[in-house]
Amino acid sequence: MNPGYQRIVFGRIIYIGIIIVLIVLGGIFIIRVKNLSVELRKARHENALLLQDKTFLTRELAMARAWAADLEKTMPDLSEKAKAEYRRRGLTSPHDDIISDLGSREELMPFRGVFGARPSFYTEVRMYVLNARWAFASFNDGHNIGDRLYSYRVSDDGKISWSILDTFMREVSGSGVPTE
């Protein structure tokens, strides 16, 4: 074969090879662009759903805050007269002092902890001063939960004494759901 002809054939083979590689790369590029456009559509749809969820949750949060504010206004508590009297007896912040004293009284728990658990009050959310004589508290040890109504007295020297009025106990089932 003629060397010049061989060079032409070789050049054409290289040229065809480059074209095939470019066609393959172009096809891969087109497929990738299609996949990206599908992913983009999915992302836009998911974003729209998340924006709907955000709008819904924002409304729910506003309603919950309003409900909490209303609930706080209607929560039972000490009257101003009782607060003034308890301050006179030595309590600096009567409501908080009563809650704190109750929360520190392990002897007011109706049971000892099970399997090494230590019973405790829900001090942040489930302890209430109902009025100048009564308080309410919820408690648990991880296995048993309950609610208890207490009567209390504040002595002239600011010491608080407690009596148990009533108890409602529930056992937590294996699923963590209280059973009555």
Average pLDDT, the chain: 84
DSSP string, 5-58: HHHHHHHHHHHHHHHHHHHHHHHHHHHHHHHHHHHHHHHHHHHHHHHHHHHHHH
Residues 139-152: pLDDT tens digits? 877 677 788 899 99
CB 136 within 8 A of CB 82: no
Domain housing 146 = 80-179
Q: Does residue 161 share a domain with residue 94? A: yes
The reply to whether 147 and 110 lie within a common domain is yes
Residue at which a domain ends, from 74, 90, 124: 74
Query: Is residue 65 located within the same domain as residue 111?
Result: no
Question: Quick one: which of 136, 145, 146, 148 has its CA closest to 99?
Answer: 136
| Close Cβ partners of 45 (under 8 Å, ≥ 6 residues apart) | none
148-177 confidence digits (pLDDT tens): 899 999 999 999 999 999 988 876 655 444
Summarised one tens digit per residue, pLDDT across range 87-125 is 999 999 999 999 989 988 878 876 665 565 666 676 555
Assess whether 87 and 140 both reside in one domain: yes
Q: Judge if 23 and 89 occupy the same domain.
A: no
**What total number of domains does the chain contain?**
2
Taking CA atoms, 135 is separated from 66, 115, 174, in Å, by 25, 29, 30
Sequence letter at residue 133: R
Residue 68 shares a structural domain with residue 120: no
Same domain, 140 and 88: yes
Structure tokens at 129: 């001063």
